[in-house]
Amino acid sequence: MFAFIVHFFNSFLYYPLFNFLIVIYNYLPGHDFGLAIIVLTVIIRLVLYPLSLKAFQSQRAIQKLQPLISELQTKYKNDKEKQAKETLELYRKENINPFSGLALALVQLPILIALYQVFWHGLQSDALNGLYTFIKNPGAINPFFLHLLDLSKPNILFAVLAGILQFFQTKMLMPAPIQGQAKTNDLASMMQKQMVYLFPILTVVILFKLPSALGLYWIASGLFSITQQYFILKKHDEPK
């Protein structure tokens, strides 16, 4: 069973992503591996854009309903089953899918694992044996970005920059305080605030000893997400 999962993962994620990266690398002037990673990142984010947009819109809608959800939590604080039922009913009435964010995470996680494999093993010379027959073999991959940074080695600067971008990305998703509404100290609200700082720290810790190619992907992906969220929020907040 495990062998089947590995074969499936390699066939449908690792090898397609690795071959696509090499195609980009072959066609870029100067064969800059870092630029190839950035192009691949943008393409992946564009493919995932509809799912990301839906998840973001659902999350913003849930944030708008937070006062009503808090009322339900207070009203049924001694009946958790009733509280959950009424909350789900509220989501249904407002046509909100509270699990859309989870769906996005479930899609992104295997892609991230596959990219880790690509950036970790793909820079080794024997990895090029995994190229499809119709893909031109470059012979060797130059791991440098802009002829300055070796992406095959860890880079603390990339790790910290990725953490900073993760902070702003998470911060943008936090609901703005509603004027005249008392601050809530419920568990969900406290966890949201903790995630703003926990996610960036985890990002730095994860990337600290990994090839900086993965850090570059994280940075490019973070910049794309922040830009995307900015324009979605701007459009969302415009008076209709």
Q: What is the DSSP string of 104-149?
A: HHHHHHHHHHHHHHHHHHTTSGGGGGGS-TTSPP-SS---EETTTE
Question: Please, which residues have CB within 8 angstroms of residue 97's CB and are 6 or more apart in sequence?
Answer: 54, 58, 91
Task: Provide the whole-model pTM.
Answer: 0.82
What is the tens place of the pLDDT at every residue in 61-96?
777 787 888 888 788 878 888 888 888 888 888 888
The per-residue pLDDT of the chain, averaged, comes to 83
Q: Are 201 and 163 in contact (CB under 8 A)?
A: yes
What is the tens place of the pLDDT at every residue in 122-139?
777 788 888 999 999 998
Q: Are 172 and 56 in contact (CB under 8 A)?
A: no
Q: How many CB atoms lie within 10 A of CB 162?
A: 26
For the chain, the domain total comes to 1
> Which range marks the domain in which residue 127 is found?
2-237
Residue of 84, 24, 59, 7 lying closest to 229 (CA atoms): 59
What is the tens place of the pLDDT at every residue in 182-229?
454 455 556 666 777 888 999 999 898 888 999 999 999 999 988 988
